[in-house]
Protein backbone atom coordinates (compact mmCIF):
# COMPACT_ATOMS: atom_id res chain seq x y z
CA UNK A 1 0.00 0.00 0.00
CA UNK A 2 1.42 3.35 -1.03
CA UNK A 3 1.54 6.04 1.66
CA UNK A 4 0.06 9.44 1.05
CA UNK A 5 2.86 11.99 0.69
CA UNK A 6 2.80 14.57 3.45
CA UNK A 7 4.06 18.11 3.15
CA UNK A 8 6.82 17.86 5.76
CA UNK A 9 9.20 19.88 3.60
CA UNK A 10 7.43 23.26 3.72
CA UNK A 11 8.72 24.21 7.20
CA UNK A 12 12.27 23.43 6.02
CA UNK A 13 11.72 25.65 3.00
CA UNK A 14 10.70 28.53 5.28
CA UNK A 15 13.70 27.98 7.55
CA UNK A 16 16.05 27.89 4.57
CA UNK A 17 14.67 31.17 3.25
CA UNK A 18 14.80 32.91 6.63
CA UNK A 19 18.34 31.73 7.44
CA UNK A 20 19.72 31.62 3.90
CA UNK A 21 22.89 33.57 4.68
CA UNK A 22 23.64 31.38 7.72
CA UNK A 23 22.94 28.23 5.69
CA UNK A 24 25.44 29.26 3.02
CA UNK A 25 27.96 30.21 5.70
CA UNK A 26 27.65 26.81 7.36
CA UNK A 27 27.81 24.62 4.26
CA UNK A 28 29.33 26.83 1.53
CA UNK A 29 31.47 29.50 3.24
CA UNK A 30 33.19 30.60 0.02
CA UNK A 31 29.82 31.20 -1.65
CA UNK A 32 28.57 33.12 1.38
CA UNK A 33 31.68 35.30 1.37
CA UNK A 34 31.14 36.20 -2.30
CA UNK A 35 27.57 37.52 -1.82
CA UNK A 36 26.80 41.19 -1.20
CA UNK A 37 24.38 40.76 1.71
CA UNK A 38 23.64 44.51 1.78
CA UNK A 39 21.60 43.98 -1.40
CA UNK A 40 18.28 42.19 -1.39
CA UNK A 41 18.06 38.61 -2.51
CA UNK A 42 15.03 37.32 -4.39
CA UNK A 43 13.68 33.80 -4.04
CA UNK A 44 12.37 32.52 -7.36
CA UNK A 45 10.04 29.72 -6.23
CA UNK A 46 7.46 30.19 -8.99
CA UNK A 47 10.13 30.26 -11.68
CA UNK A 48 11.80 27.16 -10.25
CA UNK A 49 8.51 25.23 -10.17
CA UNK A 50 7.92 26.08 -13.83
CA UNK A 51 11.41 24.97 -14.88
CA UNK A 52 11.17 21.77 -12.82
CA UNK A 53 7.73 20.98 -14.28
CA UNK A 54 8.91 21.67 -17.82
CA UNK A 55 11.94 19.43 -17.29
CA UNK A 56 9.78 16.66 -15.80
CA UNK A 57 11.93 16.52 -12.68
CA UNK A 58 9.02 15.80 -10.40
CA UNK A 59 7.96 17.45 -7.19
CA UNK A 60 10.81 18.98 -5.17
CA UNK A 61 9.37 20.86 -2.25
CA UNK A 62 12.57 22.04 -0.59
CA UNK A 63 14.38 23.27 -3.66
CA UNK A 64 15.12 26.98 -3.38
CA UNK A 65 16.38 29.22 -6.13
CA UNK A 66 17.74 32.58 -5.02
CA UNK A 67 18.97 35.48 -7.10
CA UNK A 68 21.76 37.29 -5.28
CA UNK A 69 24.40 39.90 -6.11
CA UNK A 70 28.09 39.27 -5.69
CA UNK A 71 30.52 41.70 -4.10
CA UNK A 72 31.77 42.39 -7.64
CA UNK A 73 28.28 43.54 -8.65
CA UNK A 74 27.32 40.54 -10.77
CA UNK A 75 23.99 38.75 -10.51
CA UNK A 76 24.24 35.10 -9.44
CA UNK A 77 21.71 32.35 -8.92
CA UNK A 78 22.00 29.86 -6.07
CA UNK A 79 20.07 26.58 -6.23
CA UNK A 80 19.71 24.55 -3.03
CA UNK A 81 18.11 21.10 -2.81
CA UNK A 82 17.56 19.48 0.56
CA UNK A 83 15.95 16.11 1.18
CA UNK A 84 14.42 15.64 4.60
CA UNK A 85 13.52 12.03 5.35
CA UNK A 86 10.87 11.12 7.89
CA UNK A 87 11.23 7.36 7.66
CA UNK A 88 13.99 4.80 7.40
CA UNK A 89 15.24 4.12 3.87
CA UNK A 90 18.19 2.44 2.23
CA UNK A 91 21.35 4.57 2.23
CA UNK A 92 21.56 7.00 -0.66
CA UNK A 93 24.50 5.13 -2.19
CA UNK A 94 22.44 1.94 -2.52
CA UNK A 95 19.38 3.56 -4.12
CA UNK A 96 19.05 3.16 -7.87
CA UNK A 97 19.83 6.14 -10.07
CA UNK A 98 22.16 7.90 -7.62
pLDDT, tens digit (0-9, with 9 covering 90-100), for 28-39: 999 999 999 999
- Rounded Cα gap, residues 52 and 29, in angstroms: 27
Sign of dihedral through CA atoms 84, 89, 95, 97?
negative
pTM: 0.67
Most confident of 1-5, 39-43, 80-84, 86-90: 39-43
Mean pLDDT of 71-89: 84
> pLDDT tens, 65-79?
999 999 999 999 999
The DSSP code for 35 is B
Amino acid sequence: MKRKQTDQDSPWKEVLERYFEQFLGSFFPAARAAVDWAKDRVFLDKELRKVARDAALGRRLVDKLARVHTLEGAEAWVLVHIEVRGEVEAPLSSRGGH
